[in-house]
Structure 1
Amino acid sequence: MQLRRSPKPPKSPTAADPSCRRSQTPVKDPPHGHDPTVKVYVKVKMNSPYLLCMDEDTANTELIDPYYLWIGPNERNLKGQINTDITETGKLMLKPFRKIMSGTYSCTLSYRTINNHFEEELTLKLFTFLVLGYREPDYSYQINVRYATLACHQLANSQFFEGLLSTVRGLIDGLTCKLTNFYHSCHAIKEPEEKLQNELFLSFRVDPFGKGWEEICSEVMYDCEDETNARVQKARDLIEKFFIRQPNVLKNEFADPTKIYYIEHSIEITRIDNCRSGFGKNEITHNDCANCCVVCDPNTYNSMNNAHCQVCNDIQIPYYGATTC
């Protein structure tokens, strides 16, 4: 991924260096407030932005013998670590970022100044960052459609639904997607100024984890959610076009059109987001990354690919990204 460079220092103290923002915005900038700790969100398997060991004052001040000491999670000295890049001016990059790297990173800047009496003074400044890994959510799509039917209590309704699912599976064959959560019911509907009509309510979900998805993910170098989400979005588009453009084909293929027929414009498609184990959404805590699956905080976990992390009341979890309680 190409990174854009900016020669100017950050205008806000303790902000992440904007020179390494990516076009896909896998890194989200935190808000500026009174909390000296700055939150930085880094997409898993991507490099972090450069974290600056300076503020506006030091960026515009002559520093004599500056020394930068970066400390990571578990009080680990980051100098010489294989997954870090620390420049001679104290900038830190974490590469590539993994879930277990989430946590607090601090830099102590020490430097000397010489006053008008040629006396040396030692100055220390501390800058702190909370760096959190995130992933894109896994997309699935809930599909709801309606059909008019002659009677609710007839075998043809179930046969029609099975035939419809078979055709939809054929549409998305090759995309490593699958259909789940099948459901159908029949109800008598009375629209204003219309006669009573029996309608079939048909529902199913399409998700990207069909046969062969593991092999597809093993072939990509980047985050697999990008690939699986692209495939399930293509499946959604194919299904939507099928219902919008081919209602007559559906009628003729499955049943006598005088008994069961598609109600045009009845299709409803809803995206459902889920997070991988160890990650979850939290629109309040992570409002700057509200649509991200952010690594679970200590004492929380996600073990079932749910949308949110859950509090663990049984044991203390001191680390980020727990998958069990």
Structure 2
Amino acid sequence: MEASARGRVRRGRRRARDAGSRLSGPAVLLVLSAFLVRAPPSVGYLIRLPRGFHLSQDLVKIVGSTNFPVRVYVMLHQRSPHVLCATQQLRNEELIDPSYQWHGPRGKIVSVENSSIQVTSTGSLVFQNFEEAMSGVYTCFLEYKPTVEEVVKNLQLKYLVYAYREPHYYYQFTARYHAAPCNSIYNISFEKKLLQILSKLVLDLSCEISLLKSECHRVKMQRAGLQNELFFTFSVSSLDTEKGPKPCKDPNCESSKRLSKAKNLIERFFNQQVEVLGKRAEPLPEIYYIEGTLQMVWINRCFPGYGMNALIHPKCPECCVICSPGSYNPRDGIQCLQCNNSLVYGAKACL
């Protein structure tokens, strides 16, 4: 049995080299920083900014189209760019006696005194601390004269404004251990101890470990007999560091950076188990990690009321965009589900 186990360990080393290449793809995603994207005016606009970065009023200005509504994506709890009551052509022309009026969702007139939504003297719409309830259709009515001699012209521009959030992603790991008989209490005790160790590893990074599944199976080995194996599936996700009495504003507090460090610690922990087993002169213990069986996948998820859809939102394909009326997301999935009874943005239930 000992010889069979050592053979399994050697075979695992070959799998470890293969597994290493599979982990490189998701790891590359972690080094991508937040960025600012400006789309063509006729398609839509996505505003993505690094945490703690304050958007300048003149950094991005969005123009409308007379052909169809322009989509605008604003990160939740952030300030929006200036949404102009003008097309690209009118923006570069002189307007005589321009008059602007904005109507928000349900046709309500946007008041100049509104503290959360501002209309500038030149007719631009600016959202302060964008909230879910601000999502919807915004229409600007413009009256102006091209020249003093000409008659007044009227223009109507529509914008579809959506709140969006970054995905709440996590890593999912699977690992296999040589185990005691499947009905043994030693397996249960080992499982609890393993979770305690993993949780302690990532505690200082404000990350948490969750056991998703633990199963014991009897496995027929190649050219060998049966052996018991534990199949562990667990996840590591980041906790919210922006809440609490002392919110963390340091760039190192970003979820992607903390998760990357947690992933590295977990991989190192399993590699160290292999090194310790390789140096043992004594027979292998009854429960030990099978080298090369650690696998990892990167999983995106959206908060309830938000979802991803590259077809509907091609300029924000990896964003969790608020669910439009007629759809909802009740859980941490990645899609807004159809619901004809849903009449609001960000629905979390189909009533």
1:157 and 1:286, CA in 2 relative to 1: closer, same or farther beyond 3 A?
Answer: same
Secondary structure in 2 aligned to 1:132? strand
Deviation at 1:78, TM superposition (A): 1.6
The 5 A counterparts of 1:142-221 are 142-148=172-178, 156-174=186-204, 175=206, 177-188=208-219, 190=221, 195=224, 198=227, 199-208=229-238, 216-217=243-244, 219-220=246-247
Structure 2 counterpart SS, 1:318: coil
**Equivalent of 2:343, from 308, 311, 318?**
318
Secondary structure of the 1:186 match is strand
Partner residue in 2 for 1:64: 96
C-alpha deviation, 1:125, in angstroms: 1.6
| CA spacing shift, 1:87–1:61, aligned 2, 3 Å | same
Q: CA offsets per residue over residues 8-52 of structure 1, 9 Å max, x none?
A: xx9746866x9x87456999999x999611111110000111112
2:242 and 2:146 map into 1 onto residues whose CA distance is: 59
Determine helix, strand or coil for the equivalent of 2:82.
Answer: coil
Q: Distance in 1 between matches of 2:61 and 2:319?
A: 13
User: One-letter code of the match for 2:201?
Assistant: L
Corresponding residue of 1:135: 165
- Report the equivalent of 1:91: 124
Residue 217 of structure 1, CA deviation: 4.7
2: distance between equivalents of 1:136 and 1:301? 18
Question: Which of 112, 120, 123 is equivalent to 2:145?
Answer: 112
CA distance in 1, matches of 2:180, 2:209: 30
CA contact (8 A) 2:241 2:247 kept: no
Residues 85, 92 of structure 1: 8 Å contact kept: yes
Residue 79 (1) aligns with residue 111 (2):
yes
Q: How far is 1:123 from its partner? A: 1.2
Q: CA deviation at 1:168?
A: 1.2
Instruction: Kindly provide the CA deviation profile for residues 155-196 of structure 1, in whole angstroms up to 9, marking residues without a partner as x.
Output: 5444433332222122123425242313133342546xx656
Q: Give the deviation of 1:242 after TM superposition.
A: 1.2
Output one character per residue of 1:86-112: Cα deviation in whole Å (capped at 9) or x when no partner. Answer: 222222111111000000111122111
Aligned residue pairs: how many?
Answer: 302
Q: Structure 1 residues 120 and 21 mapped into 2: Cα distance closer, same or farther (>3 Å)?
A: farther
CA-to-partner distance for each residue in 1:127-169, whole Å, 9 max, x for gaps?
2110000111222321111234586675544443333222212
Whether the aligned pair in 2 keeps the contact of 1:177 and 1:231 (CA below 8 Å) is no
Question: Match for 1:58: what amino acid?
Answer: L
Aligned AA (2:319): C
Query: Are the aligned partners of 1:183 and 1:203 in contact in 2 as well (CA < 8 Å)?
Result: yes
Write the distance in 2 (CA, Å) between the matches of 1:301 and 1:26.
31
User: Deviation of residue 278 (structure 1)?
Assistant: 1.7
Paired residues of 1:50 and 1:92 also in contact (CA < 8 A): yes
Is 1:303 equivalent to 2:330 in the alignment?
Answer: yes
Query: Which structure 1 segments of 5+ residues have no match?
Result: none
Distance 2:317 2:146 in 1: 43
Which residue in 1 is equivalent to 2:269? 242
- Mapped to 2, the partners of 1:49 and 1:250 lie a distance apart of 58
User: If the length of structure 2 is used for normalisation, what is the TM-score?
Assistant: 0.71
Indicate how the Cα distance of structure 1 residues 113 and 286 shifts in structure 2: closer, same or farther if over 3 A, else same. closer
Tell me by how many angstroms 1:260 deviates: 3.7
Taking a change above 3 Å as real, the CA distance of residues 186 and 76 of structure 1, as seen in their structure-2 partners, is same
Aligned ranges 1:28-39 → 2 under 5 Å = 36-39=68-71
AA in 1 matched with 2:81: P
Identity, % of aligned positions: 31
Q: Contact conserved, 1:280 with 1:295, CA < 8 A, in 2?
A: yes
Root-mean-square deviation (CA, aligned residues, Å) is 4.0
Partner of 1:290: 317
Q: Aligned AA for 1:141?
A: Y
Alignment-derived partner of residue 43 in structure 1: 75
Contact 1:14 1:55 in 2 (8 A): no
